[in-house]
Amino acid sequence: MKYADLLDRFVGYAKINTRSDPKSKTVPSDPKEIFFLRKLSQELKEIGLTDVRFKKDGYLFARIPATAGQEQVKAIGFISHVDTADFNSENIDPQVHENYDGKSILKLNDEYSLDPKTFPNLKNYAGHTLITTDGTTLLGADDKAGVAEIITAMKYLLQHPEIEHGEVDIAFGPDEEIGTGADNFDTKDFGAAFAYTVDGSSKGELQWATFSASAATLKAKGTQVHPSEGYGKLINPIVALIDVFNLLPDQRPENTKDDQGYYYLTDITGNGDTAAAEMIIRDFSRNGLKERKNILKEAVDKINARYPYKVIELTQYDQYYNMADVLKNNMAPVHLAEKAFSLLGIKPNEKPVRGGTDGSKITFLGTPTPNIFTGAENLHGRYEFASLNDMEKAVDVILKIIELNSLSK
Ligand SMILES: [Zn+2]
């Protein structure tokens, strides 16, 4: 095998619990992430990377300098996140299934299994070595697979000094799953002119278009009196919020697809006195997002106008923007990845992401950053699995991109 330590490295990382904490106010959101990042920094130093450094925002940065004569090549970056999604991650016990036949049911434990009837994509993995969970936790291939692939590629590069390349910068960060990780990514200190997040799913994914995203908080203040004397007086804050939601266009995650945006009511709580709702808004176009925000504001105004005082207070803030708005004017990083895929016989899948990536933020902070696959599927739960064969392909892609970049100087 070309990358002898990839499997052990990945399994070792997967076992370490790095679940992020959406309720935390600290950066990183959980000390478990710091523990893992410290371990990675040690490993990076042992492998021989330079400038291994921790950033205030929880990122771990490191570098491989350009080889002799390649100093003028544009520095290239690779980024993944160390935290895992909001699902049980205690005592993760990855199971390795060699030479899967693409047909059989893969037993995770007595209760759960991966059945090709439910997961027809399993047929794509005939002959592969698959890594699954034991049915009780997630696997955390999102994004430990990305971390393992980047480090494996860096080790390979350092062990093969005959490969000429420009400067390579790598970054491992916290809290992608809770949407805050890359908020203050230090593009200047990172150093790369462009980068790739290694945080996709199945082989071939090359993503350079994402949603633009906004979030809204609605706080409602009611007038609570005994319902027996409610006539003309009682104002129910919960109902006020539901009325706003019902005024919005009927576009929700469950009935939209492809290039359609949506409104998603993610939380609503309350009583007779006060109520609060959380909503997220998604649209591929920046104008579309703006329009949707206006529609929400108008709905709130309309409901408020029914009452003698301003019952609902609306706060909206943007979370990230479609990276295609930037990348369409600088497609070089995407074309470089396409060329690497093609030389490796990998068919690119460039469907826009109905979500965001760390790259959505990092692109707008100044470093164009599309996303490439990791070779894992069914992310964020007990059915998650990774293909060692496709993980090797991801390492191949990283190395090929670096090699092609040096030729293009
Ligand atoms: Zn991820």
Residue 189 known to be catalytic: no
Burial 341-359 (b: 16+ CB within 10 A, else e): beeeebebeeebbbebbbb
Domains of the chain: which residue ranges?
A: 6-209+322-407, 220-315
Q: Where are the beta strands (DSSP E) in 284-342?
A: 312-320
- Give me the catalytic one of 30, 167, 176, 358: 176
CA dist 278 → 43, 306, 309, 317 (Å) = 41, 22, 22, 12
CA distance 31 to 82: 12
Considering the domain delimited by 6-209+322-407, tell me its CATH architecture: 3-Layer(aba) Sandwich (3.40)
Output the CA 56–ligand 1 centroid distance in Å.
21
Output the CA 50–ligand 1 centroid distance in Å.
26
Neighbours of 297 (CB within 10 A): 13
Residue 110 known to be catalytic: no
CA dist 344 → 121, 183, 228 (Å) = 22, 34, 74
Q: Counting Cβ atoms within 10 Å, is residue 295 exposed (0-12), middle (13-18) or buried (19+)?
A: middle
Residues in the chain with pLDDT values less than 70: 408-409
Output the CA 131–ligand 1 centroid distance in Å.
17
- Which structure tokens are listed for 186? 């230090």
Output the CA 199–ligand 1 centroid distance in Å.
5
Facing residues of 376 across strands? 386
* Fold classification of 220-315 (topology level): Alpha-Beta Plaits (3.30.70)
pLDDT in tens, 218-275: 999 999 999 999 999 999 999 999 999 999 999 999 999 999 999 999 999 999 999 9
pLDDT of 408: 53
Output the CA 183–ligand 1 centroid distance in Å.
15
- Which structure tokens are listed for 79? 């980024």
pLDDT of 357: 86
Burial 40-73 (b: 16+ CB within 10 A, else e): bbebbeebebeebeebebbbbbbbbebbeeeeeb
pLDDT of 2: 83
Output the CA 275–ligand 1 centroid distance in Å.
33
Output the CA 144–ligand 1 centroid distance in Å.
9
CA distance 405 to 402: 5
- Give me the catalytic one of 21, 83, 177, 390: 83
Helices (H), 30-115: 31-47
pLDDT of 6: 98
